[in-house]
Amino acid sequence: MEWGEYEIGDLFEKLNLRFLKPTFDKENDISKEKSLEFNLPLVNAKDGNNGVMYYGRSQDFESAEMTIDIVNDGAVSTGNVYPQPQKTGVLYNAYLIKPKFSANEKLLHFFTSIIFKSIKHKFGYENKAGWDKVKQEKIQLPIKNNEIDFVFMESFIAEIEAERIENLKTYLTVVGLNDYTLTTNEQKVLKDFENGKVEYNKFVYKSVFNKIVQGRRLKKDDQILGDIPFVMAGTTNAGIVNYISNPVASFPKNSITVDIFGNAFYRNYDFGAGDDTGVYWNDEKEYSKETMLFFTAAIEKSLLGKFDFGKKLRSSQSLNFNIQLPTKNNHPDYKTMETLISAVIKLVIKDVVLYMNKKSGKQKAG
């Protein structure tokens, strides 16, 4: 394969998309949840979720399709690059660039990866990734007969996509998630939940978990590479910052971690944890995975907005915190928790299975 060097600005132009109302009211003009009213993805300084944190009304924002989103600000997100094939608007601290050539979704994915590789480590919080600087950056592209080889790019992305879809199909089959049909019992529990017919009571954390332990400090410079997931505060990669081999305190799978900011994650593997993370489990009562997932959601809900850099959570503080759980005869109703989580997993996986089947059908037809 031959490669040629091109300036980003020679291939893309920045769009100046506007908010169309006279004044902007954050409380009423955007929403974190997508809905029929708030249906337009808006890019901003977001790390993850394809750069989208909010949604706006399509009539309130100018939008464009087949673009690439570049985040120009943010302590973590500066220099992030995301493909935006669907209609998308701009909120703040990001911008959309439009190809000067005819583009499709596969080409957007290819160029997103190439641009990200070129700019991500050149910009940061103190050096914003503005278009005036980014457009001068150079990228390496495959060429044929001294012309950009768009055909190769498309076929390359198509091969990767086909491989990922096949791997996904195998994984879903092995773990039993390829069936998204709700059972009668799951339908009933969902309906009871939506209609407020599930009875709840408060339980203190220490009555649910007999082990509530804070992790141990391990500086980055002291971490030795290995295969033990090491968890610290944060939501990126579910808090896993490294894989180590240090003889640190090991925590068991089927545990929940809660960091100093109240972010909670279920762990179905053995792991180590830093001193900014608490670990919760019960070694006398074997909770199911579904029950632990319910606990995780309930814990995060109970802690939402209560902790930050100025007020950090330590696990020892949480022993008598309350958690709301479904109850039956004044005891936690584990069966309802399991059935509800099982139903939610099927609802979530349904879109994945349908997407997989749609993509598989397209590949076969092609």
Render pLDDT for 43-59 as a digit per residue (tens, 0 to 9).
Answer: 999 888 899 989 999 99
pTM: 0.63
| Residue labelled with tokens 């944060």 | 234
Give me the pLDDT at residue 366, please. 47
Are 333 and 287 in contact by the 8 Å Cβ rule? The answer is no
Provide the pLDDT confidence category of residue 117 given band limits of 50, 70 and 90: very high
Burial class (CB in 10 A: 0-12, 13-18, 19+), 22: exposed
For 16-48, how does the pLDDT look when each residue is reduced to its tens digit (9 = 90+)? 999 999 999 999 999 988 999 999 999 999 888
Mean pLDDT, residues 201-214: 96
**Cβ contact 87:62 at 8 Å:** no
Task: Give residue limits of the domains in the chain.
Answer: 2-144, 200-332
The highest-level CATH class for domain 2-144 is alpha beta
For residues 91-118, one letter each, b for 16 or more C-beta atoms within 10 angstroms of the residue's C-beta and e for the rest, the string is bebbbbbebeeebeebbbbbbbebbbeb
Beta bridge partners of 255: 267
Largest CA distance in the chain: 76
Q: Are 290 and 337 in contact (CB under 8 A)?
A: yes
Position 175, amino acid:
V
Q: Would the CA dihedral through 285, 289, 291, 295 be positive or negative?
A: positive
Q: What is the mean pLDDT of the chain?
A: 92
| pLDDT tens sequence across 193-204 | 989 999 999 999
One fold for 2-144 and 200-332: yes
Q: What is the DSSP string of 285-344?
A: S---HHHHHHHHHHHHHHHTTS-BTTB---GGGGTT-EEEEEEETTEE-HHHHHHHHHHH
Task: Average the pLDDT over each of 49-58, 249-258, 356-365 and give the range with the smallest value.
Answer: 356-365
DSSP calls for 164-209: HHHHHHHHHHHTT-S--PPPHHHHHHHHHHHTT-S-EEEEEHHHH-
The secondary structure of 122-136 as a DSSP string is G-BTTB---HHHHTT
pLDDT band at 8 (very low <50, low <70, confident <90, very high): very high
Report d(CA 281, CA 239) in Å as an integer.
18
Q: What tokens appear for 343 in the block?
A: 């139903």
Buried/exposed 339-355: b ≥16 CB within 10 Å, e otherwise: bbbbbbbbeebeeebee
Tell me the CATH number for domain 200-332.
3.90.220.20
Sign of torsion over alpha carbons 274, 314, 302, 285? positive
Q: How far apart, in whole angstroms, are the C-alpha atoms of residue 243 and residue 249? A: 14
DSSP 260: T
pLDDT at residue 365, rounded to an integer: 46
For residues 302 and 321, the answer to whether their CB atoms sit within 8 Å is yes
The yes-or-no verdict on residue 176 having pLDDT over 50 is yes
Nearest Cα neighbor of 295 from 314, 270, 321, 329 is 321
Provide the token pair at 313: 């959570």
Q: Long-range contacts of range 173-182, CB-CB < 8 Å, 24 or more positions apart? A: 177/345, 177/349, 177/353, 178/353, 179/346, 180/346, 180/347, 180/349, 180/350, 180/353, 181/346, 182/343, 182/346, 182/347
- Say what the pLDDT of residue 25 is: 94
Question: What is the C-alpha to C-alpha distance for residues 347 and 344, in angstroms, rounded to an integer?
Answer: 5
- What's the start-to-end Cα distance of the chain, in Å? 25
Closest CA to 236 of 50, 32, 48: 48
Query: Is residue 86 exposed (0-12), middle (13-18) or buried (19+ Cβ within 10 Å)?
Result: middle
